[in-house]
Amino acid sequence: MKMKRLSKVFALLLCVAFSLTAFAGCKNKEGEARSAYAITAEVNTQDMTVAALCEIDYVNRTEVELSEVWFHLYPAAYRDGASFTPVTAAETGSAYPNGISYGGIEINGVAGGEYEIGGRDDDILIVKLPKSIMPSERAKITVDYKLKLPNIRHRFGYENDTVNLGNWFPIECAYEGGFDDSPYYSNGDPFNLPICDYNVKITAPKDYTVAMPAPATRNENGEQATTSCTLENARDFAAVLGKFQTVSGSVNSVNVNYYYTSDDKAEEHLKAACDSLEYFSNSFGAYPYKSYSVVQTAFNQGGMEYTGLVYVSDAARDKMISEVIIHETAHQWWYGIVGNNQIKHAWLDEALAEFSTTLFYKNNPDYGVKYDDRIADAMGGFTLFCELGKVSDTSMERSLGDFASSTEYTYMTYVKGQLMYDSLMKTLGEKTLVAGLKNYASKCAYTTAQPDNLIACLEQTSKRELKSFISGFIDGTVKLYSIN
């Protein structure tokens, strides 16, 4: 490895006088009023549609008067003619196993204001309020809509006997001086979502189990069954329908459920969910929800995170299943509890989810994965990618649309991000770094954190100036290798 630049940064880190990053804009908003969603949905598994009513008790959490409010309609990305498609051309074959299939969302009506469809890809619901709302005032908006599920192995869609309901309802756009109308990107997770409360009822044929992110009740009525739950302080709400087998355990009074379709090591994978939930709770602060659901389902990538519920691909095998579970469990802290704009700062959650997975293995040697091996693999892969591709821009801080490919996105956010934390740990020590991350999780819980919030928390705990060190990684000054 050629790490000349890195050595210089280490020297800088050790010599610089204290000038710590000010902590601003990430106060703990636990207890602050937030929007509440009541969703009633009926899934028709014959024609693969969902009829739904979404009642929103919207809270103006901005500092300005609002005359209209905007909501993402993510299912619109799956329609015929979408400009921003959910998968890249290279992934189309594996994502659509039975050929291209389209879905979408149709708005039947909105109560609580006039509406129009806008945004960069006709994927934003704009509701014009009859009366403007001031900061902290509320508006009641009800959206009657219908979903068409595409046959796709993705966040939203169906394949075989599983139905993924991810990003499936009108979800309020974050407000950052204006509503964030970012469209769907095929790279990464294109979300920037505020914390909300959810009360959700899903009716489906009774031979389906509905995996929920919170303890649920189920009532059968003839051939149908309705599954309901309440989830508060959540980054999003997802559910998965399937003909599952389940195994369950518990960690610190949290019910942990593994829903699977085919897995002869289900107990082992439940254990990975329980062990990682326990390790991350001990390291970063207690998991704050009542249950945790890991769901094996049709999915084109390894897995996907939602508050209280994660997908694990039914194509994952052997040790990869545990690794995906551990990574997605780490996201409960990095993305879920501590939110971030995953379009602008994808590295904030992905680098931490990946490095937290490596820390888990280090502290749970029974899993047989060595810390040094994972770091060496990351360094080897990153170097090879950069040298083969003659990559000159290794910045991590890029918008999802600015990465040339999903491979480049992965190397710059997950892999280089993990190497950045490894370098930090070699400098600060594991105990201090983990304490700094716990400080970050505590101070930024239930907010949308910025990179400077992370840096300020790590500096506060370590009593070291770290901004120049971290900035070198995220802006690409630190390359970790030299191009020959």
What residues line the site for Zn ion (CB under 5 A)?
A: 350, 353
What single letter denotes the amino acid at residue 391? V
Angle at 408 between CA 476 and CA 403, to 5 degrees: 80
Residue among 1, 2, 6, 29 at smallest CA distance from 472: 6
Which lies closer to Zn ion via its Cβ, residue 226 or residue 413? 413
CB of 330 to Zn ion, least distance (A): 8
Which lies closer to Zn ion via its Cβ, residue 353 or residue 424? 353
Which lies closer to Zn ion via its Cβ, residue 180 or residue 350? 350
Select the residue whose beta carbon is closest to Zn ion and give its number. Answer: 353
Which lies closer to Zn ion via its Cβ, residue 241 or residue 325? 325
CB of 381 to Zn ion, least distance (A): 16
CB of 357 to Zn ion, least distance (A): 9
CB of 341 to Zn ion, least distance (A): 15
Residue 72 CA to residue 118 CA, distance in Å, equals 10
Residue 12 CA to residue 455 CA, distance in Å, equals 16
H, E, C per residue of 184-225: CCCCCCCCCCCCEEEEEEEEEECCCEEECCCCEEEEEECCEE
CB of 50 to Zn ion, least distance (A): 26
Residue among 316, 45, 307, 300 at smallest CA distance from 167: 307
Looking only at the bridges linking them, the beta strands covering 291-297 and 309-313 are: parallel
CB of 354 to Zn ion, least distance (A): 7
Q: According to DSSP H, which parts of 285-345 are helical? A: 319-331
Which lies closer to Zn ion via its Cβ, residue 87 or residue 353? 353
CB of 41 to Zn ion, least distance (A): 27
Which lies closer to Zn ion via its Cβ, residue 263 or residue 354? 354
Contacts of 151 (CB under 8 A, 6+ apart): 48, 96, 97, 98, 101, 157, 158, 159
Which lies closer to Zn ion via its Cβ, residue 309 or residue 353? 353
Query: What percent helix, strand, coil does the chain show, rounded to 5?
Result: 30, 30, 40
Q: Which H or E run includes 165?
A: strand 162-165
